[in-house]
A and B are shown apart, each in its own frame.
Chain A
């Protein structure tokens, strides 16, 4: 997640709520604890930073019907997190439409000053986006480590996926170079710290 102190804004991306139940509806019975786990993690951040605004950068629900599958407890919890603060749902490719009864405001993009928040990168001067679930791999003493990461260049910042059941997509994939614009960096998430690497020094999968 990203916190912008001046704006007291907390930014998260790709929550993928109700991903397990989406799979369950297709006959793949994944453990139904993902939404609660993601909400718990989000709640801890909100308690810690007390933001006045929360932005979810899209793909907040794994599918458009996901809002309807929220359990009453999780729905109540999600609404309680929104009390006393602005809550922006940016729509994503998984959840392109407004979802009922989950509070907040819906929009395709949102801007503060020169910074544009959206799900997928566009042609803005500086954009903070999600969508790609970036992950980086580095080799340390003959062992390779793969972690979720932020990817940043002077034009784009891509947030890692926040959802508890989300995977990662290697930043060395050709897709990243098409929109990052020149050199960029991976900021890998470790247990207590973030470690930065030049993307060129990270390994492909």
Chain B
């Protein structure tokens, strides 16, 4: 790096001296970005956490803004005049408001210390109206904002004035933005910016991803890819898996067994981050750590359901170095630098390698020192997953998902926005929209359908023409028919549809929930939020854990969940979901491979090794190319257990479909349960016998056509499909998120999207929103795409084992049975009783109690009497 020459042409004196005054040297990637900026190229910087990424993104703009035409006369004659424009020079987009605020503080330092004449402002949902108006009329040099706020700005008639002179767009944490519908909206907004300001350069900042070329493609609308710049990789992270020998649990996600060890680790560090996968897990771990916190270490809790002020407090305490540990979820995944973290403990399965790597990167923000991470698996399968993840990390593999196909509900929202911003010509807008990478393959028909949807709802029954929200004028421009629709758009902008959330308010306990209704005496402290569907399943008096304490549910009043403190020691309702990630395809492959290759088992704890060896002995090991299906009788039911390793969502879908087929085969299925790795279906009928007699063919049972009619029939009923539809209905603006002035009348007035779904499915199954919901379901809640790929892969390669008892590998999924439906006291005792039975049965060398067989031999296709 020959960059320490004062006359480096890329770095003006003033900047060089500033770097030197702090004893720094510009990183190579910072200079590389400067060079790209001088060449008017867009660029994507891939850098690990702590690599001076943000400064790299802003340096070109700071330099350009510090240079006046007078001091560099030779530049003012060029086509790319570097001048202080009165318009906006640089737009910075971050996925989080808090991140934008953090960046603003970071920018103040160079600007203040070098005394640069640069005005930086933020624009978020909290920015006062007066400031927003001023920003539109007298824009700052640098505006820091979020994608939703950008959409709003672009939907205003001021947009052409505001963005005409825009020089650069800096997109932070791009990897996290592109994976959701937010990314779809962002891509459309970038296309709009490019149309308003053809000169604009895009600078993306991203963590390491599997396919950086895709991000380059995303970054610049219109096919001119951004240039890739890689920062030097940080030191190899030091990651290990906690080994607990024989104590390793068979199932469950609580990691309770490891808490004492986790506590010891926290004790030895100055600052530890404890990442978990779900909010309920965060609550449990936090509470249990405090139960054993003899030394009174400052351990805090941070997750997305907690009240924002509580989270800010935790963040501030972290920054000030006042905490010893924070138990957190993905709420601390993104870029903000919260003080010096020495160790990251990851409790539970990592689910994905890239996310794990980013989390571990939180430990030690200094690029040259290795970050330390310790993985704590909560059951035996998770040991395998953790092991596979450690190996993938060592090979620096990535498993970020491929780029999305833009969704139609987001497109509709964008079209509505463009009509609000002064109107659009359909041909031009189509060209613009298809310049955005996720929408490159959008058909003109889908685009026109989206226009039609915004205008009149897009129904075959064309009865709403007179109510049209947008109409094409004689000049071919589509415009709003009434200015009030602009307000409707503004109220509903954005793609983040949280499951409807209810605020949790602490009140004084009452014996009767009735007393708390009716608006009297219910002012109390706000604790945070829970998902509406969780609250709806609570009965008054139920206890659950939230914010680290056990609370009693008193009732729901309007949009608040009323709770009181309780003395009970165990929550009655075990958990509420929140932030579940599916197992990544790549990690699933790693687990499959690890199981199939006994020569690699030496890295595994003895208990897990024994478990796999027993599986090989009693049944067989699933192979990467096949699908192992085991059948056995237990307690009067014939179980079918298979091991697709495709994640819980895909398995649930498969479970629903298999049950339908088994029903038709008259095998009387009773239920199923899915884990990340396997699926168990149980029947009253004799599945074993049907297979042996050739009446039931497993090849046919698992054939791809299961995704045809059976899927369609099931989709018609499933609540998951309705949830997909609800999201599309809200994003597209079919129904409003809230009705102006109607908030007070509460939840009863909101139109049930379930009813709308039923109506559309019956009358217009091919409506734009039904298509959007189906596309979502395919990749989201139902994971149909992944299921389809799996079925294609194992076609004709199904390995069946008819066993006389549960196999070792089947124990974890068998233990999940009943876990979701059994509530109340005693459920745990029942479970552990059942658990011990199963484990004894699977591992014992003794003869099973039922018909004898030679131990350890393979018992293919044995008929059994049906125990009734």
Scan B810-821; emit 1 where CB is below 8 A from any A CB, else 0: 000000000001
Scan B300-324; emit 1 where CB is below 8 A from any A CB, else 0: 0000000000000000000000000
B22 interface hit (Cβ, 8 Å): no
Residues on A with C-beta less than 8 A from B484 are 27
B760 to chain A, nearest CB (A): 5
CB contact between B763 and one of A23, A27, A33, A142 (< 8 Å): that residue:
A33
Of B243-251, B626-634, B750-758, which stretch is located at the interface? B750-758
Residues on A with C-beta less than 8 A from B514 are 174
Look across to chain B and name the residue whose beta carbon is closest to the beta carbon of A169.
B748
Cα–Cα, bound, A203→B539 (Å): 7
Of B34-42, B101-109, B457-465, B658-666, which stretch is located at the interface? B457-465
Inter-chain contact B540/A204, CB cutoff 8 Å: yes
Cα–Cα, bound, A55→B822 (Å): 46
Contacts known (A29-B464, A143-B537); A167 close to B751, Cβ less than 8 A: yes
Interchain residue pairs with CB less than 8 A apart (17): A23-B751, A24-B457, A27-B485, A28-B735, A29-B459, A29-B467, A29-B734, A31-B760, A31-B763, A37-B759, A37-B762, A142-B821, A142-B823, A144-B536, A164-B759, A165-B756, A204-B517
Cα–Cα, bound, A33→B761 (Å): 11
Cα–Cα, bound, A137→B539 (Å): 10
B747 interface hit (Cβ, 8 Å): yes
Tell me the residues in window 108-143 of chain A with beta carbons closer than 8 Å to chain B beta carbons. Answer: 133, 137, 139, 141-143
Look across to chain B and name the residue whose beta carbon is closest to the beta carbon of A133.
B748
Look across to chain B and name the residue whose beta carbon is closest to the beta carbon of A137.
B536
Contacts known (A27-B469, A204-B555, A204-B556); A32 close to B464, Cβ less than 8 A: yes
A198 interface hit (Cβ, 8 Å): no
A109 to chain B, nearest CB (A): 25
Tell me the residues in window 16-41 of chain A with beta carbons closer than 8 Å to chain B beta carbons. Answer: 21, 23-25, 27-34, 37
B25 interface hit (Cβ, 8 Å): no
A71 interface hit (Cβ, 8 Å): yes
Cα–Cα, bound, A71→B764 (Å): 18
Look across to chain B and name the residue whose beta carbon is closest to the beta carbon of A26.
B467
B442 to chain A, nearest CB (A): 22
Total number of residue pairs linking A and B with CB closer than 8 Å: 102
Residues on B with C-beta less than 8 A from A146 are 536
A205 interface hit (Cβ, 8 Å): yes
Inter-chain contact A139/B518, CB cutoff 8 Å: no
A55 to chain B, nearest CB (A): 25
Residues on A with C-beta less than 8 A from B358 are none
B174 to chain A, nearest CB (A): 34
A168 to chain B, nearest CB (A): 8
Look across to chain A and name the residue whose beta carbon is closest to the beta carbon of B481.
A27
| Additional pairs, 17, CB under 8 Å, beyond known A29-B456, A29-B734, A144-B536 | A27-B467, A29-B457, A29-B459, A30-B457, A30-B735, A32-B457, A32-B459, A32-B463, A33-B461, A33-B762, A37-B763, A71-B463, A141-B823, A165-B756, A167-B755, A204-B540, A204-B555
B513 interface hit (Cβ, 8 Å): yes
Look across to chain B and name the residue whose beta carbon is closest to the beta carbon of A31.
B759
Main secondary structure of the interface of B (DSSP, over half): loop
Look across to chain B and name the residue whose beta carbon is closest to the beta carbon of A170.
B748
Residues on B with C-beta less than 8 A from A167 are 748-752, 755
Residues on A with C-beta less than 8 A from B821 are 141-143
Main secondary structure of the interface of A (DSSP, over half): loop
Which of A23, A142, A173 is most buried by chain B, counting CB atoms within 10 A of its CB?
A142
Tell me the residues in window 457-507 of chain B with beta carbons closer than 8 Å to chain A beta carbons. Answer: 457-459, 461, 463-464, 467, 469, 482, 484-485, 488
B736 interface hit (Cβ, 8 Å): yes
Contacts known (A139-B539, A203-B540); A30 close to B555, Cβ less than 8 A: no
CB contact between B759 and one of A25, A33, A139 (< 8 Å): that residue:
A33
CB contact between A24 and one of B464, B513, B762 (< 8 Å): that residue:
B464
Contacts known (A31-B764, A165-B751); A142 close to B537, Cβ less than 8 A: yes
Residues on A with C-beta less than 8 A from B734 are 28-30
Inter-chain contact A142/B756, CB cutoff 8 Å: no
Please give the residue numbers on chain A whose beta carbons come within 8 Å of chain B beta carbons, in ascending order. Answer: 21, 23-25, 27-34, 37, 71, 133, 137, 139, 141-144, 146, 164-165, 167-169, 173-174, 203-205
Look across to chain B and name the residue whose beta carbon is closest to the beta carbon of A141.
B821
Cα–Cα, bound, A27→B485 (Å): 7
B842 to chain A, nearest CB (A): 28
Contacts known (A28-B735, A31-B457, A141-B821); A205 close to B536, Cβ less than 8 A: yes
Cα–Cα, bound, A173→B821 (Å): 28
Residues on B with C-beta less than 8 A from A34 are 759
Inter-chain contact B751/A174, CB cutoff 8 Å: no
Look across to chain A and name the residue whose beta carbon is closest to the beta carbon of B463.
A32
Look across to chain A and name the residue whose beta carbon is closest to the beta carbon of B747.
A205
Cα–Cα, bound, A205→B557 (Å): 8
A193 to chain B, nearest CB (A): 19
Residues on B with C-beta less than 8 A from A37 are 759, 762-763
Look across to chain A and name the residue whose beta carbon is closest to the beta carbon of B574.
A142
Contacts known (A21-B463, A71-B463, A169-B748); A31 close to B756, Cβ less than 8 A: yes
Tell me the residues in window 798-849 of chain B with beta carbons closer than 8 Å to chain A beta carbons. Answer: 821-824
Residues on B with C-beta less than 8 A from A164 are 755, 759
Inter-chain contact B467/A25, CB cutoff 8 Å: yes
Inter-chain contact B463/A174, CB cutoff 8 Å: no
Look across to chain A and name the residue whose beta carbon is closest to the beta carbon of B457.
A29
Look across to chain A and name the residue whose beta carbon is closest to the beta carbon of B518.
A174
Cα–Cα, bound, A192→B759 (Å): 20
Cα–Cα, bound, A33→B762 (Å): 10
Residues on B with C-beta less than 8 A from A165 are 751, 755-756, 759
B421 to chain A, nearest CB (A): 17
Residues on B with C-beta less than 8 A from A144 are 536-537, 539
B404 to chain A, nearest CB (A): 26
Cα–Cα, bound, A169→B537 (Å): 17
Residues on B with C-beta less than 8 A from A143 are 537, 821
A155 to chain B, nearest CB (A): 21
Look across to chain B and name the residue whose beta carbon is closest to the beta carbon of A165.
B755
B225 to chain A, nearest CB (A): 39
B572 to chain A, nearest CB (A): 10
A36 to chain B, nearest CB (A): 8
Look across to chain A and name the residue whose beta carbon is closest to the beta carbon of B532.
A205
Cα–Cα, bound, A47→B657 (Å): 37
Look across to chain A and name the residue whose beta carbon is closest to the beta carbon of B764.
A31
Look across to chain B and name the residue whose beta carbon is closest to the beta carbon of A139.
B539
Look across to chain A and name the residue whose beta carbon is closest to the beta carbon of B755.
A165
Q: Which 9 A-B pairs have the closest CB atoms?
A: A29-B457, A142-B823, A33-B763, A24-B467, A24-B464, A139-B539, A31-B759, A32-B463, A25-B467
Cα–Cα, bound, A71→B463 (Å): 8
Residues on B with C-beta less than 8 A from A137 are 536
Look across to chain A and name the residue whose beta carbon is closest to the beta carbon of B757.
A31
Inter-chain contact B517/A174, CB cutoff 8 Å: yes
Scan B752-778; emit 1 where CB is below 8 A from any A CB, else 0: 100110011011100100000000000
Cα–Cα, bound, A29→B823 (Å): 42
Cα–Cα, bound, A181→B346 (Å): 58
Residues on B with C-beta less than 8 A from A32 are 457, 459, 461, 463-464
Look across to chain B and name the residue whose beta carbon is closest to the beta carbon of A166.
B755
Tell me the residues in window 213-247 of chain B with beta carbons closer than 8 Å to chain A beta carbons. Answer: none
Look across to chain A and name the residue whose beta carbon is closest to the beta carbon of B466.
A25
Cα–Cα, bound, A23→B514 (Å): 34
Cα–Cα, bound, A173→B517 (Å): 8
Cα–Cα, bound, A83→B824 (Å): 57
Look across to chain B and name the residue whose beta carbon is closest to the beta carbon of A144.
B537
B577 to chain A, nearest CB (A): 15
Inter-chain contact A30/B556, CB cutoff 8 Å: no
Look across to chain A and name the residue whose beta carbon is closest to the beta carbon of B461.
A32
B747 to chain A, nearest CB (A): 7
Look across to chain B and name the residue whose beta carbon is closest to the beta carbon of A163.
B755
Inter-chain contact B536/A30, CB cutoff 8 Å: no
Residues on B with C-beta less than 8 A from A25 are 467
Cα–Cα, bound, A80→B26 (Å): 83
Look across to chain A and name the residue whose beta carbon is closest to the beta carbon of B482.
A27
Residues on B with C-beta less than 8 A from A142 are 537, 821-824
Which of A29, A34, A168, A174 is most buried by chain B, counting CB atoms within 10 A of its CB?
A29
